[in-house]
Copies of this chain bind each other. A is one copy, B any other.
Amino acid sequence: ADVKAGRGLAVAKCQTCHGLNGIATIAEAPHLAGESEIYLETQLRAFRSGKRQQEMMSIVAKDLTDEEIANLAAWYAAIRIEATMPE
C-alpha cells in the first residue's frame, strides 16, 4: 500500500471529521490514529458493503476502490500514538 497516496486521499475525504493526523474533530467520529491496517480495512469494507452502517460513512465509503482502502489504512496506521491514563 502507498502511504503518501493514502495521505492525499485522507486530505480529500477523511480529515474534516477524523483529522489528517487521525485525531477526530467531532465527537461522533472516532480517532483513527495508529489503528491497524487490518482493522481500518475491515471497517471501510464493511461500510462499503453495508454490513456496518453510519449516515456519513456509508456515503463516503461507497465508491472507494480496494486500492484506495488499502492506501487510506496505510496512512492512518502509520501514525504513532501515545496514551496516558488518568491518575
Chain A interfacial residues counted at CB < 8 A: 31
The complex is assembled from copies of this chain, and their number is 2
Q: How far does the Cβ of A29 sit from chain B's closest Cβ, in whole Å? A: 7
Q: Is the CB of B81 within 8 A of A86?
A: no
Q: Pick the contact of A39: B28, B80, B84 (CB < 8 A).
A: B28
19 other contacts beyond A78-B86, A79-B84, A80-B84, with CB at 8 A cut-off?
Answer: A3-B86, A21-B84, A21-B85, A23-B81, A23-B83, A24-B36, A24-B39, A28-B42, A29-B39, A30-B30, A30-B36, A30-B39, A31-B81, A31-B83, A33-B83, A78-B85, A81-B81, A81-B83, A82-B82
A sample of 24 inter-chain contacts (CB < 8 A) reads A3-B86, A21-B84, A22-B83, A24-B39, A27-B37, A27-B38, A27-B39, A28-B36, A28-B42, A30-B30, A30-B35, A30-B39, A31-B31, A31-B33, A33-B81, A33-B83, A51-B53, A52-B52, A78-B85, A79-B84, A79-B86, A80-B83, A80-B84, A81-B82
